[in-house]
């Protein structure tokens, strides 16, 4: 572990319940010579443009206003600390901003493997079934939606051991399939110190069992249907209509038979059938109110009285016995060379099938051709049923993501052709605040939130390009409004920014020019206790520090840095935050 002992820990301020911010601790915050990692861009103030000062080796705008920023910390595995965050931290460019990381607390079953004195763990509620189940425990902080802060622990025979940050968690146990148990969730479990955690689940024998069978009807060439056929290339599960409980999830046998287990007294369940793999030629079907889980029995709509085991059967509906091969060819508009532009293009075919809906993804060859496997129409095996075909080019492709209706004849000599529309070719450049070209800057174009509210079918993917040595870029964009996230190289000393670009307002051939704001340099340190029960605080090295804000529900990074061996960091952000 990389530590530098902290000599002065005065002026501590508590930030929420997640840790501390220390002020006035970093040394030499404004010195020209920086010992923080990275390449220095200045040594003295005269190396910087007018109105800027040299701070920790980077040019920084003088007198930037104080502002509130969120921070998150991603320590390396060698530090012994877990990812954590601080919200609404008041920062001022002329002051250092220093943080004290929390030590994690252990949550375990207690004792060692085979230890008779083990007091916790996941145990069976009847106390007569020996040992415990196998699976995974998930710890989700109740005040953080970011998946970075979810912890998980392997459970072996009911035993587990993990470390979490102090706080309130939702704990979910996901059993191994071999245990035939549904997952279970416990809400509002608080861990502020090392904890031996005791949890209980019902043994498999005490769950109610839904004994089911899936089938489908075959449509014959003359339009008639009949002959139940078992369905097995699917996954089956059930969710309570309250949204609180779930069943086990299973794949039926070759005969279409399966059994689900649910906890008693958990109410009414809907049953779901979904494809088991990307190759499955079956519809997704939901059976509403398929059964009720009562105190001592389950009841289905076809069961009179019910019991601990209740029978259920369902059909996915009627559709042809075998699918057919359908050829699709994508074409570019006249006058545009599509060479090398089809790589990575896929399409998703959707349509009604039986009692549910069918969906499958296919990939194009280098010439934009697809060989689809689809079911014909019920009324004629020489005709396609009605499908919706969504063509999804790569985000950087010159082609627009587009939806078509796929109908018509089936045959070895029939190819369905679809012409894609082109985006607008946009060129531009990125300059720093002094008007100098910014090389190797990454630009991420995202349609702004207003565009999504107007059309929910728009492509949400980001389009990412990089500037050349002269700061120039080229991108294929739709004629709409974009938020442009500009990320200069970290060694450049230039800040990230978000610019707005209305492609529809650009005149033909008009370049898009983006100017970076003036930089502000934040300096600080990340500290942590050297041990869980010790009072010695030291700098923590090899921690990724990210400043961010949440804009329209999306986390936007304002600046990044990494602490050196002494726990110090310098971060370049916009002076306009």
Q: How do residues 362-376 score in pLDDT, each as one tens digit? A: 999 999 999 999 999
Provide the 8-state DSSP code for 516. Answer: P
Higher pLDDT, 65 or 434: 434
pLDDT band at 302 (very low <50, low <70, confident <90, very high): low
52 has pLDDT over 80: yes
- The upper half-sphere exposure of residue 498, i.e. CA atoms within 13 Å in the direction of its Cβ, equals 16
Predicted confidence at residue 56, as pLDDT, reads 86
Cβ distance 288 to 188 under 8 Å?
no
Predicted confidence at residue 28, as pLDDT, reads 42
Q: Which residues of 339-372 are buried (b: 16+ CB within 10 A; e: fewer)?
A: eebbeebebebebebbbbebbbebebeeebebeb
**Spatial CA neighbour of 129 closest among 161, 108, 159, 158:** 158
**How many angstroms separate the CA atoms of 165 and 501, rounded?**
41
What's the sign of the alpha-carbon dihedral 77, 78, 82, 87?
negative
**How many angstroms separate the CA atoms of 61 and 575, rounded?**
7
What's the sign of the alpha-carbon dihedral 241, 245, 250, 252?
negative
Q: How many CB atoms are located within 10 Å of the residue 308 CB? A: 13
What's the sign of the alpha-carbon dihedral 562, 564, 565, 566?
negative
The pTM is what?
Answer: 0.83
For residue 382, report the phi and psi dihedrals to the nearest 5 degrees: -95, 0
Give 529-563 pLDDT, tens digit per residue: 877 666 688 999 999 999 999 888 888 999 999 99
Q: Residue 50: which residues within 8 A CB-CB, separation 6 or more?
A: none
Burial class (CB in 10 A: 0-12, 13-18, 19+), 389: buried
Quote the CATH superfamily of domain 426-514: Carboxypeptidase-like, regulatory domain (2.60.40.1120)
How many residues are recorded in the chain? 577
**Given the DSSP bridges, would you call strands 512-515 and 424-431 parallel, antiparallel or unpaired?**
parallel
Give 210-249 pLDDT, tens digit per residue: 999 999 999 887 767 777 788 878 999 999 999 889 999 9
Cβ distance 325 to 372 under 8 Å?
yes
DSSP 439-504: TT-EEEEEE-HHHHHH-TTS----EEEE--TTSEEEEEE-SSEEEEEEE--GGGT---EEEEEEGG
- Per-residue 3-state assignment (H helix, E strand, C coil) for 175-214: ECHHHCCCCEEEEEEEECCCEECEEEECCHHHCEEEEEEE
**How many angstroms separate the CA atoms of 368 and 333, rounded?**
13
Give 374-412 pLDDT, tens digit per residue: 999 988 889 999 999 999 999 999 999 999 999 999 988
Cβ distance 119 to 108 under 8 Å?
no
Helix, strand or coil, per DSSP, at residue 49: coil
Give 74-90 pLDDT, tens digit per residue: 999 888 899 999 999 99
Q: How many CB atoms are located within 10 Å of the residue 278 CB? A: 8
Predicted confidence at residue 146, as pLDDT, reads 65
Q: Residue 95: which residues within 8 A CB-CB, separation 6 or more?
A: 23, 24, 29
Find the range with the poorest average confidence among 31-45, 118-132, 444-458. Answer: 31-45
Average pLDDT over residues 491-497: 93
Q: Residue 145: which residues within 8 A CB-CB, separation 6 or more?
A: none
Average pLDDT over residues 175-193: 91
**How many angstroms separate the CA atoms of 31 and 57, rounded?**
8
453 has pLDDT over 90: no
Q: How many CB atoms are located within 10 Å of the residue 271 CB? A: 23
Distance (Å) of CA 453 to CA 294, 365, 380, 395: 43, 34, 41, 20
**Spatial CA neighbour of 184 closest among 165, 166, 201, 162:** 201
Which CATH number is 105-204 given? 2.60.40.2190
What residues does each domain of the chain span? 3-103+519-574, 105-204, 221-320, 333-419, 426-514
Distance (Å) of CA 66 to CA 338, 415, 485: 51, 63, 23
**Spatial CA neighbour of 248 closest among 209, 278, 205:** 209
Distance (Å) of CA 558 to CA 69, 285, 497, 525: 9, 44, 7, 18
Predicted confidence at residue 337, as pLDDT, reads 79
Cβ distance 278 to 270 under 8 Å?
no
Predicted confidence at residue 20, as pLDDT, reads 45
107 has pLDDT over 70: yes
pLDDT band at 29 (very low <50, low <70, confident <90, very high): very low
pLDDT band at 439 (very low <50, low <70, confident <90, very high): very high
pLDDT band at 41 (very low <50, low <70, confident <90, very high): confident
300 has pLDDT over 90: no
Q: Which residues of 478-504 are buried (b: 16+ CB within 10 A; e: fewer)?
A: bebbbbbbbbbebebbbbbbebebebe
**How many angstroms separate the CA atoms of 195 and 186, rounded?**
16
* 116, 120, 122, 127 alpha-carbon torsion, rounded to 10°: 60
Give 148-161 pLDDT, tens digit per residue: 789 999 999 999 99
């Amino acid at each position: 572990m990389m530590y530098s002992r902290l000599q002065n820990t005065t002026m501590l301020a508590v930030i929420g319940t997640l840790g501390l911010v220390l002020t006035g601790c970093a040394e030499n915050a404004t010195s020209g010579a920086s010992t923080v990692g990275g390449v220095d861009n200045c040594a003295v103030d005269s190396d910087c443009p007018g109105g800027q000062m040299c701070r920790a080796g980077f040019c920084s705008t003088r007198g930037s206003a104080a502002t509130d920023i969120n921070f998150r910390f991603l320590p390396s595995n060698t530090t012994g600390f877990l990812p954590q965050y601080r919200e609404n931290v008041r920062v001022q460019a002329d002051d250092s901003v220093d943080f004290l990381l929390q030590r994690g607390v252990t949550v375990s079953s207690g004792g060692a493997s085979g230890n008779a004195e083990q007091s916790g763990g996941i145990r069976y509620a009847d106390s007569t079934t020996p040992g415990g189940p196998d699976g995974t425990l998930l710890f989700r902080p109740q005040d953080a939606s970011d998946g970075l802060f979810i912890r998980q622990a392997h459970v072996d025979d009911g035993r587990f051991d993990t470390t979490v940050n102090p706080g309130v968690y939702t704990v979910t146990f996901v059993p191994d399939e071999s245990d035939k148990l549904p997952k279970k969730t416990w809400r509002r479990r608080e861990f502020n110190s090392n904890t031996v955690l005791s949890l209980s689940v019902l043994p498999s024998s005490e769950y109610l069992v839904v004994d089911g069978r899936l089938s489908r009807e075959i449509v014959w060439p003359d339009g008639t249907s009949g002959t139940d056929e078992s369905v097995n290339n699917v996954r089956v599960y059930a969710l309570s209509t309250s949204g609180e409980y779930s069943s086990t999830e299973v794949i039926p046998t070759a005969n279409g038979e399966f059994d689900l287990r649910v906890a008693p007294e958990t109410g009414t369940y809907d049953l779901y059938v979904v494809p088991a793999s990307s190759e499955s030629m079956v519809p997704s079907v939901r059976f509403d109110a398929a059964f009720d889980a009562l105190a001592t029995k389950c009841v289905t709509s076809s069961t009179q009285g019910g019991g601990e085991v209740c029978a259920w059967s369902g059909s996915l509906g009627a559709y042809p016995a075998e699918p057919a091969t359908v050829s699709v060819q994508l074409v570019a508009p006249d006058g545009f060379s599509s060479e090398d532009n089809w790589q990575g293009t896929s399409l998703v075919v959707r349509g009604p099938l039986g009692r549910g809906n069918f969906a499958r993804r296919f990939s194009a060859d280098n010439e934009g051709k697809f060989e689809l496997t689809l079911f014909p129409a019920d009324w004629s095996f020489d005709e396609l049923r009605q499908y919706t075909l969504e063509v999804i080019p790569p985000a950087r492709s010159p082609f627009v993501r587009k939806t078509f209706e796929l109908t018509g004849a089936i045959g070895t000599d029939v190819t369905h052709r679809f012409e894609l529309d082109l985006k607008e070719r946009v060129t531009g450049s990125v300059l720093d605040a002094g008007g100098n070209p910014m090389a190797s800057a990454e630009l991420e174009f995202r349609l702004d939130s207003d565009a999504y509210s107007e059309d929910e079918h728009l492509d949400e993917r980001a389009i990412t390009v990089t500037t050349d040595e002269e700061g120039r870029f080229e991108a294929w964009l739709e004629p709409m409004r974009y938020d442009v996230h500009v990320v200069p190289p970290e060694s450049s000393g230039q800040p990230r920014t978000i610019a707005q670009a209305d492609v529809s307002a650009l005149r033909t051939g008009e370049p898009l020019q983006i100017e970076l704001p003036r930089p502000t340099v934040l300096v600080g340190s990340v500290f942590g206790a050297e041990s869980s029960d010790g009072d010695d605080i030291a700098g923590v090295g090899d921690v990724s520090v990210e400043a961010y804000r949440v804009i329209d529900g999306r986390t936007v990074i304002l600046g990044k840095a990494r602490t050196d061996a002494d726990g110090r960091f310098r971060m370049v952000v916009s002076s306009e935050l």
